[in-house]
Amino acid sequence: MAEKYSHLLDNVRHIHFVGIGGSGMCPLAEILHNEGFEISGSDTAESDTLQRIRSYGIPVTMGHYPENVNGADLVVYTAAVKLDNPELVSAKAQDIPAVERCIMLGAVVEKYKRSIAVSGTHGKTTTTSMLTQILTMSSLDPTAIIGGKLPFIGGNSRVGKSDYIVCEACEYVDTFLHLYPAMAVVLNVDEDHLDYFGTLDRIKSSFKKFISQTSSCIVINGDDRNSMECVADIIKNGSKKVVTFGFGKKNDFRAEITGESSVCDSFDLYHKGEKICSVSLRVPGKFNVMNALAASAAAITLGVAPEDVVRALEEFRGAHRRFEILGKPCGITVADDFAHHPTELRATLTTAMSMGFRQVWAIFQPHTFSRTYTFLDEFAEVLSIPDHAILSEILPVREKNTYNIYSKDLAEKIDGCVWFKTFEEIADYVTKKAKPGDLIITIGGGNVYMCAGMIMERLSGKR
């Protein structure tokens, strides 16, 4: 059962983060450091994130040792940290309270009067990034916690001085039920994380609970039936403001795609049936039009002028690993994308195929055995969209292969698909086959971006 955490930081001076370099941990450490708390942390691998943390004067220890928590009043750890971690064991022995990152996120967000939590099965990072850029360029000076790097702010977090905070609200293991935002943005509700939820009905139940915890306004995808089912009771009793967005004319905010570009990067924005502005995006895809529409609806509802929304969106150049163009060595475009669910893959690959490349080479790293097993036929269908599909081994993440599922099982369902055990083999294969004018795109929620790096090195003549 979720609860508020307004007193979590009472009588706390020193906070220690176990796994401080994580994308979800670094922003919290940065915000709390800025608020005057003494912060320390530990991690097991060097990264750009740790360099950023150290630049604030925050001490970071490489490795997890019992003495790292000495003197701390509170310990924060990620869900990936096991309970037998030496630092957690030491904290328990010293009676130092220890909480998961999601609880600390709830406590931090609760400190801001104007909190906006962006939820949904797909599109959270891009939409949160867009909204952060809009509010920042509109001089609202927000604090932000983003699940990926936003070049505009030089990382995945920003510390502002206003009472605005924008954050991602992830549904996995009901993490977002630790949030009580003033505004919730709901992008979509789809079947995912079935290893935890089991059924779509349970996913919708979780979203309903999250929406009920929102105090002021819900900005929601009016085209998505599942999303609208989750907000139906609130619309019926009129207990909170509900703002809808989508392509359908019934929505409060509507986008109408314009121009002759098959990339669908330009649209007119309507509010209550009246055209209020036109937007030309720099990021491709109809799905990005929808992300931009959601961010626009939220921002304008918060009072941002439409012209300020346009200015920010037209300068938005994407978020890290969201159809990110890495380079064009040898006349071959190399890109990387985070998509790891069939719905996301369809959006990414449909966009890629519409962009006029000679041929599209899609390299996909399946993410978790359970997702691959559950959506095997759906993955096979969407991976038949590109000219060529190449698979790596399945990334197990937190699972054991009790499903007896392998990449070769997926490859057998896709005409002409090949699979390899290592990224090195994939990089060698595709760089020998691709020609100028082609697109090579690595796709997946794991570490397949490493394969993209290998491809860039090979095409640039660097081993």
Q: Which sequence positions are flagged as catalytic?
A: 124-125, 168
And the tokens for 436? 């100028």
193: left (phi over 0), alpha (psi -120 to 50) or beta: left
And the tokens for 151? 């070049």
CA-CA distances (angstroms) from residue 49 to 30, 128, 143, 311, 424?
Answer: 11, 19, 18, 29, 26
Handedness of CA 181, 286, 232, 198 (dihedral sign): negative
257: left (phi over 0), alpha (psi -120 to 50) or beta: beta
Q: Which residues, other chains included, contact 207 with Cβ-Cβ below 8 Å and sequence gap of 6+? A: 119, 171, 186, 189, 227, 230
- Vertex 122 angle, CA 120 and 125, to 5°: 90
Reported residue count of the chain is 463
Contact 129, 319 (CB under 8 A): yes
Which residues partner with 17 through β-bridges? 41, 76
Strands 183-186 and 164-168: unpaired
Location of structure tokens 């403001």: 241
